[in-house]
Structure 1
Amino acid sequence: MSKKLLFSIIVVLLITNVATMLFWKSDQSESPVVEDEKIDTKKPVATIDGDKVSYGDWMKSLQDNYGKKELKNIIDRQIVEKLANEENITISDKVLERDIALLTTMQGPTSKENLEKLEQKWRSDILYRYQLEALLAKGIDIPEEEVQTYYTKYNKQYHFDESVQFSHILVSTMDTAEKVYSELENGASFSLLAKEYSIDEDTRDSGGYLGFNSVNTEFLPSNYFDIAQELEEYSYSEPFVTSNGVAILYLHKSLPEIAFSYEELKPFISNELALKSSNQKLVADPLWEKLDINWVYGE
C-alpha cells in the first residue's frame, strides 16, 4: 500500500472517531463451526495415536473455559434489551448507519453477501452498546453548557465523509485497456487481471485495491469519482483516460455523507459525559440488580 493511500485511509478513520466506536470485545473472532448434524456424539471427536477425545470431554472443556463468559454475555444482552424496552430507549437509525459506515471502511474487498452478514452483527452490537450506555447514564445530570461546549469542540469527529471503495487496473494504452476489458466481459477476475496488467506498482500485488477514499481526497484522479457515480456497486467501468494512463475502475462500495446537528447528538454526548464523570465502565453488571436473575453459576 502506498504512503499516500495509507494516509488517506488514516484521515478518514480519524475524522470519524474510530477510537470511540471499537467497543465490542477484541478477543472475540469468527471461527469455523462444525454443523451439529455432522457430529456423532457417540463417537470420539478426535483421536491421538489411538487415544480418544470424547464428545463429553470436549463439551466439558468448552463449558469450563468459556461457558460462564458466554452465558453472561447472553444474559447481559437480554437485560439491556428488556430494560431499554421498559425505559423506551431507542437509537436513531442515522447513528447506527454512521457507525456501520465507519466499520465498513475498515473492511477489505468483501462480497455483498458477506458484508450484509457483518452489518447485521454490527447493528446488534452497536444497538447494545448505545442502549447500555443510556441505561448506565440514567439519572446522571450533565449541564447543558457542558454538552454544548463538548459538541462545539468535537462535533466534527461524529461526521462521516462520503467515501468510496475502489479497485482499479491502470495500463499505458487504450489498446491494452480494451483487451483487459474484453477479458473482464468474458468472466475473468478483476483482481487477477490487475496483478497481470496493471502498471500501478502500489496496488498491483493487491489486485488493484485502492481501499476506501473520501471524495475530498487529493490522492486519486478526480474523474475516478465522476466515473463511480455512473456505476452500480460491485461493477466495473469501461476503459477511460486519466492523468496516469488508461484505467478500468471497480466500485466495491459507496457510502454517503452523514452529518449531525447538535440536537441529534445531544443525548449521546450527554451519556458519554455522564459515564466519564461517574467513572462508569461500559459493562452491564450494575443492571443485574434491577431484575430477578438466576443462573447456573450462582446468584
Structure 2
Amino acid sequence: MSKKLLLGIIVVLLITNIASLLFWNQEEKRVISEDEDTQINSTEPVASIAGEEITYQQWMDALRTGHGEKELKTMIDKEVVEQLAEEEKIEIDEKIIQRDIAFLHTMQGVMTEEESSKEEEGWREDIIYRYQLEQLLTADMSIPEDELQSYYDSYGDQYNFSSSVQLSHIVVDDFETAEKVVSELDEGASFELLAREYSTDEETKNNGGYLGSIYTSSQFLPNSYEEVALEMEDHSYSEPFRAESGVAVIYLHRNLPSIEFTYEEIKPYMESELAMQELEQNLTADPLWEQVDVEWIYGE
C-alpha cells in the first residue's frame, strides 16, 4: 500500500471518528463526547468574546484540520488578541512583517507564485498575532533606555535581513547546448526536468538544479549569478551566460532585498522581546482571557 493511500485512509478514519461522536438528540443538540456531558446546539455560537461570536460552523470547519478543543482555543486566542490589540491601538509595522516573511521564504523549498502568495497570507496573520501578543503580555513592563540602547549596539544587526536570492540552475558545457535548453523552456518545458536531463552539476541536477536561498553576501553565490539574478523578475529564467563551471541558465524563484532597521524603528519590538525574557513565560494568550468576557463550551 502506498504512503499516499495510507495517509488518505487515516484522514478519512479520523474525520469519521470525530463525526461519529456528534449526533442529534431529541432537543436538536449535539453531544461532543460519549464520555462527557457537554452538549452543543448547532444554531448557537460555541464561544463569545466581548460580544464577538464564533459560530458552530466556523468551529466545524476548523475541526477538519485539527482537534476540537485545541482548535477552538486557538480561535479564541486569536480573537482575544485581535480585540485587545485594537483597543490598545497596537499595530505591527509593515517593515517588520516583510522582514519575517523574508526569513520564512529562505527556509522554504521551491514554490509556485500561487503557492507563495497563499503561504504569505497565513504567515502574515501569524506574524501579526505573535507580535501583538508579545506586546500585550509585556504592556506593564518597561526596559530602561540605556539597557535598550546597549542591547541594540551589541545585537542590532540580528534584527536586519540580508538580501538573498532563491535560485535553481542548469550548467552545461557550451552555449549551443544552453540555447537548446532555453528553446525548450520557451516551449513550456519544466526547468526541473531539463536540469535533470542536461545539467552537468552532479550536486544539484537530481534535485532539479535547486540551489536554495543564498544570501548575496555569501561566498557560495558566484558573482556572475548575482549580477544576472538582480536583473531578473521573480519566477523567470535567464539567457545563457558564462559561469565558473561552464555555461549557465538560472531560474530566479525569488529575490529578497535587504531590510534594515534604525534604533527607533526596532525599539518597541526589542523592548517587548527583552521584557518577555524577564517574565520567563511562554508566549501564550491565556493570561489575556481575564481581560475580556470569554465564554466557551469547555469551561470558564
- 2:146 is matched with 145
Give the AA of the match of 1:174. Answer: F
- 1:286 is matched with 287
CA RMSD after TM alignment: 2.0
Confirm whether residue 109 of structure 1 aligns to residue 110 of structure 2.
yes
Say which SS state the counterpart of residue 258 (structure 1) adopts. Answer: coil
CA-CA distance at 1:144 after TM superposition? 0.9
Quick one: percent identity of the two aligned structures?
Answer: 52
Say which SS state the counterpart of residue 88 (structure 1) adopts. Answer: coil
Confirm whether residue 155 of structure 1 aligns to residue 156 of structure 2.
yes
Matching of residues 84-123 of structure 1 within 5 Å: 84-123=85-124
- 1:241 is matched with 242
Say which SS state the counterpart of residue 211 (structure 1) adopts. Answer: strand
Give the AA of the match of 1:78. Answer: E
The runs of 4+ residues in structure 1 deviating greater than 2 Å are 53-56, 58-63
- 1:7 is matched with none
- 1:268 is matched with 269
- In the alignment, the residues of structure 2 paired with residue 56 and residue 188 of structure 1 have an alpha-carbon distance, to the nearest angstrom, of 45
Matching of residues 168-207 of structure 1 within 5 Å: 168-207=169-208
CA-CA distance at 1:58 after TM superposition? 5.9
Provide Cα deviations, 1:230-287, integer angstroms capped at 9, x if missing partner. Answer: 2211111111111210001111100110000111111111111112112232100110
Kept in 1: contact 2:230–2:255 (CA 8 A): no
- In the alignment, the residues of structure 1 paired with residue 192 and residue 21 of structure 2 have an alpha-carbon distance, to the nearest angstrom, of 41
> Which segments of 5 or more consecutive residues in structure 1 lack a partner in the other structure?
1-30, 33-44, 47-52
Give the AA of the match of 1:204. Answer: K
* TM-score, structure 2 normalization: 0.79
Confirm whether residue 57 of structure 1 aligns to residue 20 of structure 2.
yes
Say which SS state the counterpart of residue 139 (structure 1) adopts. Answer: coil
Aligned CA distance change for structure 1 residues 90 and 149 (closer, same or farther; 3 Å): same
- In the alignment, the residues of structure 1 paired with residue 83 and residue 253 of structure 2 have an alpha-carbon distance, to the nearest angstrom, of 38
Give the AA of the match of 1:148. Answer: Q
Provide Cα deviations, 1:50-103, integer angstroms capped at 9, x if missing partner. Answer: xxx67841655769x821111111111000000000001111000000000000
Say which SS state the counterpart of residue 176 (structure 1) adopts. Answer: helix
- In the alignment, the residues of structure 2 paired with residue 154 and residue 192 of structure 1 have an alpha-carbon distance, to the nearest angstrom, of 43
Aligned CA distance change for structure 1 residues 233 and 82 (closer, same or farther; 3 Å): same
Say which SS state the counterpart of residue 249 (structure 1) adopts. Answer: strand
CA-CA distance at 1:181 after TM superposition? 1.5
CA-CA distance at 1:168 after TM superposition? 0.6
Give the AA of the match of 2:187. Answer: N
Give the AA of the match of 2:283. Answer: L
Aligned CA distance change for structure 1 residues 132 and 237 (closer, same or farther; 3 Å): same
Moved more, 112-121 or 271-280: 271-280
Say which SS state the counterpart of residue 294 (structure 1) adopts. Answer: strand
- 2:74 is matched with 73
- 2:230 is matched with 229
- In the alignment, the residues of structure 1 paired with residue 103 and residue 19 of structure 2 have an alpha-carbon distance, to the nearest angstrom, of 42
Give the AA of the match of 1:230. Answer: E
Say which SS state the counterpart of residue 294 (structure 2) adopts. Answer: coil
Provide Cα deviations, 1:202-252, integer angstroms capped at 9, x if missing partner. Answer: 111100001111111222320111111222111111111112100011111
* TM-score, structure 1 normalization: 0.79
Higher relative contact order (CA 8 A, sep 6+): 1
> Which segments of 5 or more consecutive residues in structure 2 lack a partner in the other structure?
1-6, 23-31, 34-62
How many residues get paired?
250
- 2:53 is matched with none
